C-alpha cells in the first residue's frame, strides 16, 4: 500500500518538476539574463523627437526624457546603456531583428504596434494637435476645417499620426515624410499647411520656432498611452519591466522627469 502511494506521489510530482524546469528555461533564455551577463542594455531610439530623444547641435550623444529613462533603467539594473539609432518606420523591425532590447523614444500605443511587439506598462499619456504657421492660423477654425480638399497635412512615416489622419481627416491630402527628415520641416518650408503633432512635441517646437503655433489645444484628439516597446515572447523581461515601472512611478521618478523636460501631456 505504501509503495503504491509513493508511486502516486511521484507521478504527481513529475508534471510539477517539468513546470519548474520549463520556467527555469524561460528565465535562462530571457534577454533579462543576457543583459545582465553582457552588462549592456541596448536601447533603440530615433533621436528626432525633442524633448523625448534628440541630439543637441554640436553634440554627439542623445538627450531627452526617454534618454534619462534609459539611464535610470540601466542604473537600476546595474548595467550600461548602449544607444542604437533607429527610425519610426523600422522600430518594430529592429526589435524583431534583435538589434536592441527595448525602444525608448516616445512611442504611443497602437493596435498595429501591439500585434508585432509588446508594450510595457504606460508611463504617461499624449494627444494630437495640429501645428501651423501663425500667419495661417486664421484659415483653420476647428478640426472640420482641416478635413477639406486642398488642405495638405504633413506626418512622419511610421508614426501613429499617420493612421490618425488617414482615419479621421480622409478628405485632406496626406504628405508622408521619411526619417531623418521631419514633418515640421515641411511646415517651416511652406510645403504643407499643417502637420499633425503631439502635445509634447508641439510645445517644444513652438518654443524653438516662434513662427509656429499649436491649433485647438483645448480640443486635443486621440488621447493615448505612451509606453516602451520590447520584443514578443519574453514574459520574464516584460514582468521585470512592468515591476520596474510600478516602482519608479510610485517613487515619483517619472513625475520629476516630466517636470525637468516641461512635458505637456493629456
Percent of the chain with pLDDT over 70: 89
Residue bearing the bigger pLDDT, 250 or 159 = 250
Q: How far apart are CA 97 and CA 91, in angstroms?
A: 10
Residue 17: is its pLDDT beyond 50?
Answer: no
Residue 6: is its pLDDT beyond 80?
Answer: no
Residue 25: is its pLDDT beyond 80?
Answer: no
Q: Mean pLDDT throughout 234-262?
A: 97
The ranges of the chain annotated as CATH 3.40.190.10 are 32-123+227-260, 127-224
Q: What pLDDT does 29 receive?
A: 82
What pLDDT digit, counting tens, does each position of 27-43 carry?
458 999 999 999 999 99
Task: Look up the CATH number of domain 32-123+227-260.
Answer: 3.40.190.10
8-state DSSP, 120: P
Helix, strand, coil shares of the chain, percent, nearest 5, are: 45, 20, 35
Architecture of domain 127-224: 3-Layer(aba) Sandwich (3.40)
- DSSP H stretches of helix in the chain: 2-29, 31-38, 65-77, 91-96, 111-114, 160-168, 183-188, 199-208, 235-251, 253-260
Q: What pLDDT does 28 receive?
A: 52
Quickly state the pLDDT bin for 103 (edges 50, 70, 90): very high
Between 17-21, 61-65, 122-126, the lowest mean confidence (pLDDT) is in: 17-21
What pLDDT digit, counting tens, does each position of 150-206 carry?
999 999 998 889 999 999 999 999 999 988 889 999 999 999 999 999 999 999 999
Percent of the chain with pLDDT over 90: 82
Amino acid at each position: 500500500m505504501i509503495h503504491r502511494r509513493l508511486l502516486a506521489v511521484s507521478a504527481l510530482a513529475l508534471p510539477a518538476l517539468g513546470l519548474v524546469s520549463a520556467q527555469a528555461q524561460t528565465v535562462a533564455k530571457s534577454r533579462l539574463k543576457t543583459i545582465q551577463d553582457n552588462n549592456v542594455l541596448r536601447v533603440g531610439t530615433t533621436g528626432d523627437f525633442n524633448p523625448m530623444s534628440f541630439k543637441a547641435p554640436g553634440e554627439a550623444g542623445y538627450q531627452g526624457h526617454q534618454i534619462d529613462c534609459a539611464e535610470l533603467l540601466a542604473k537600476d539594473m546595474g548595467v550600461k546603456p548602449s544607444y542604437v539609432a533607429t527610425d519610426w518606420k523600422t522600430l518594430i523591425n529592429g526589435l524583431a531583428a534583435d538589434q536592441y532590447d527595448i525602444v525608448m523614444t516616445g512611442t504611443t500605443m497602437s493596435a498595429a504596434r501591439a500585434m508585432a511587439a509588446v508594450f510595457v506598462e504606460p508611463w504617461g499619456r499624449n494627444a494630437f494637435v495640429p501645428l501651423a504657421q501663425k500667419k495661417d492660423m486664421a484659415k483653420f477654425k476647428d478640426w472640420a476645417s482641416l478635413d477639406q480638399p486642398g488642405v495638405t497635412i504633413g506626418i512622419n512615416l511610421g508614426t501613429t499620426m499617420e493612421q490618425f489622419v488617414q482615419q479621421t481627416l480622409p478628405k485632406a491630402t496626406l504628405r508622408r515624410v521619411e526619417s531623418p527628415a521631419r514633418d515640421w520641416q515641411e511646415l517651416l518650408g511652406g510645403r504643407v499647411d499643417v502637420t499633425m503633432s503631439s502635445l509634447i512635441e508641439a510645445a517644444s517646437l513652438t518654443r524653438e520656432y516662434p513662427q509656429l503655433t499649436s491649433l485647438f489645444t483645448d480640443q486635443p484628439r486621440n488621447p493615448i498611452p505612451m509606453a516602451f516597446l520590447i520584443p514578443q515572447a519574453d514574459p520574464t523581461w516584460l514582468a521585470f519591466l512592468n515591476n520596474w515601472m510600478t516602482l519608479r512611478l510610485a517613487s515619483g521618478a517619472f513625475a520629476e522627469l516630466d517636470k525637468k523636460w516641461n512635458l505637456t501631456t493629456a
